[in-house]
């Protein structure tokens, strides 16, 4: 009976856990978005891993500078498509609320085709015509 329960728990983790992680994301795979930071700094960092994105957002000044070689800078208005989303993954040291980590593929400009990770707050949806 214990083996059966363990097998059932494993099946749940394999099939249901990814859905739970993505359940709270506001963006879904395939959504078309525009990247735009804040009004003060509209450029957006695109990170090579979601873990470096998280470490940058919560790091000290020295840690943040050490991570910069792992990011490229996208101009505001860069278009992208969402490939994945991990809800509430990033905790900024400056804000109490968490942010989503959004996996994207760039669709235009000099970074066309590049994949990476951005903050959910740095995305704007594109409304269909």
Contacts of the segment 36-40: beta carbons below 8 A, 24+ positions apart = 36/76, 36/77, 36/122, 36/123, 36/124, 37/76, 37/122
Task: Answer positive or negative: Cα dihedral of 51, 56, 59, 64.
Answer: positive
- pLDDT single digits (tens) 105-127: 999 999 999 999 999 999 998 86
Confidence of residue 57 (pLDDT cuts 50, 70, 90): very high
The CA-to-CA distance between both ends of the chain, in Å, stands at: 56
User: Quick one: how far is CA 58 from the chain centroid?
Assistant: 15
Domain positions in the chain are 2-125
H/E segment holding residue 20: helix 2-22
pLDDT above 70 for 10: no
């Amino acid at each position: 009976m214990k083996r059966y329960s363990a097998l059932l728990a494993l099946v749940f983790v394999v099939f249901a856990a990814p859905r739970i992680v993505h359940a709270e994301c506001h963006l879904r795979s395939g959504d078309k978005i525009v990247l735009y930071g804040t009004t003060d700094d509209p450029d957006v960092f695109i990170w090579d891993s979601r873990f470096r994105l998280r470490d940058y957002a919560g790091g000290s000044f020295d840690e943040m500078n050490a991570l910069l070689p792992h990011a490229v800078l996208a101009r505001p208005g860069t278009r992208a498509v969402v490939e994945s989303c991990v809800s509430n993954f990033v905790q900024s040291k400056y804000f109490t609320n968490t942010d989503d980590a959004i996996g994207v593929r760039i669709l235009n400009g000099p970074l066309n085709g590049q994949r990476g990770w951005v903050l959910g707050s740095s995305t704007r949806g594109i409304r269909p015509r």
